Amino acid sequence: MTPRSFSAQRGRAGRLWLMQRLATARKGADLLDRKLRVLQNELIRLQTAAADNAARWDNCQVDADSSLLMAALIGGQREIRLAADDLRADVTIGYATTIGLRYPATATCSIPPTRGWEAPTVAGARRAHATALSAAADYAVAARAVRTVETEVSVTRHRLRAVRDRWIPQLEQALTEVTLAIEELERADAARLRLAMGPAVARMVVSRAGGWPGGGT
């Protein structure tokens, strides 16, 4: 339906409907803009944290590899296997929410206790690997959070662009055309009313003057 046909069918009600939709679109654009700014700030923080955790993980991995090599050279592979004994560490992920967006925020590692009889080199390798595991979990959480927020930033930016660049201009144009159409209809109605009232007003004036000049009726 074109704006003019819309105005012809609904008149001022149609214009009011467009005004309400335009106000809603502008408010939505403001909310999206605020959300985008908050997400962009959070993204910068998360990217910094991810870079720091990546560097920490690299360093811890080097230490873990060195300590494991030392334990293997001194105690042998058998002592390392006996110390491990199929034990597994647990990692618990905590989540945060920003502007309704949920993403991983923390990683808590639970390391199996030592057996007490481990050689110092094996115990050192265990500690180094526990530290490396914690660093790796922190980096994984930060990297995942960055990807989640980056996706939401992209979606929010796209929605804001659609509202600002397409939806609001279309509503503004439609409102202008509807307003002009209504004014056009009102002028046409006023002109028809003047034409319709012309003879009646003339007869009323003649009646009050006592008849047509020259005795005509």
Residue 200: inside a domain, yes or no? no
Number of domains in the chain: 1
Residue 143: inside a domain, yes or no? yes
Handedness of CA 168, 170, 171, 173 (dihedral sign): positive
pLDDT for position 117: 64
Contact between 159 and 63 under an 8 Å Cβ cutoff? The reply is no
- What global pTM score does this model have? 0.71
The CATH number of residue 105's host domain is 1.10.287.3240
The predicted-structure confidence for 12-22, as pLDDT tens digits, reads as follows 788 888 899 99
Q: Indicate the pLDDT class of residue 111, thresholds 50, 70 and 90.
A: confident
pLDDT for position 13: 81
* Full residue range of the structural domain in which residue 99 is found: 3-174
Residue 190: inside a domain, yes or no? no
Task: Kindly give, in sequence order, each residue whose CB lies less than 8 Å from that of residue 86, ignoring residues fewer than 6 positions away.
Answer: none
Residue 182: inside a domain, yes or no? no
Question: How many Cα neighbours within 13 Å face the side chain of 107?
Answer: 22
d(CA 7, CA 12): 7
Residue 199: inside a domain, yes or no? no
Residue 183: inside a domain, yes or no? no
Distance, C-alpha 77 to centroid of its chain: 52
pLDDT for position 79: 66
The predicted-structure confidence for 135-182, as pLDDT tens digits, reads as follows 999 999 999 999 999 999 999 999 999 999 999 999 998 888 888 888
Residue 116 has pLDDT above 60, yes or no: yes
Residue 78: inside a domain, yes or no? yes
Residue 192: inside a domain, yes or no? no
Q: Could you count the other beta carbons within 10 Å of the beta carbon of residue 29?
A: 19
